[in-house]
Amino acid sequence: MSTKDQGYRNKKSREESEGFPECRCSNCMPMEASTFIENMKRINMDNVDRMITTDLNAYITGVSIPKVKKVKAQTQRKSTKRPLADPEDLRLYKRQMRDTVDELHLRGHSTNRFYDSTQLFREEKLELVALNADKISDAEELELLIGGEMIDGQLDALMKLTRNF
């Protein structure tokens, strides 16, 4: 609706003559409507009444009504992550595992082989064993982590390295 519209003017003059409270629509209070729209994202359950009933004409458009912040209680939670071993120790441990598997593979298969030890004991499995070394208590748990085919003596040799780590 436009303020130049004759129907709007007639309605406005009738409301004023009959003592109606002042209209708060965007035509009657464009600055307040603009400020209200700019601050709409700040409305919450605690301030909705104040935002609607405050006379925003007192403010210049572009002024933000401050949002009342709720103070949330904060508690420290214990970390579920365990500390990792020293990166240099992990690197050395992984290197020892790789060398052990390479040596066992060469001893057992020498030159007649279709695959090498890196295909048999992949890097992902090596990483998995290294990161879970502190949880491995016996050869069965190690076998579950590695899974798949193994070279004769691989499980025992890796378990010995894991215990020493």
What secondary structure does DSSP assign to 54-88, as a single string? S-GGGSPTTPPPPPPPPPPP-------PPPPPPHH
User: Which tokens go with 67?
Assistant: 């949002």
Q: What is the pLDDT of residues 121-153, one digit of tens each?
A: 788 888 888 888 888 888 888 888 887 777 788
Nearest to 95 by CA among 163, 161, 164: 161
Q: Report whether 139 contacts 160 (CB < 8 A).
A: no
pLDDT in tens, the chain (165 residues): 677 888 888 988 898 899 888 777 777 777 777 877 877 787 788 777 777 776 555 554 455 556 667 777 776 666 555 555 677 888 888 899 889 888 888 887 766 666 777 777 788 888 888 888 888 888 888 888 887 777 788 888 888 888 877
Domain ranges of the chain: 16-69, 87-164
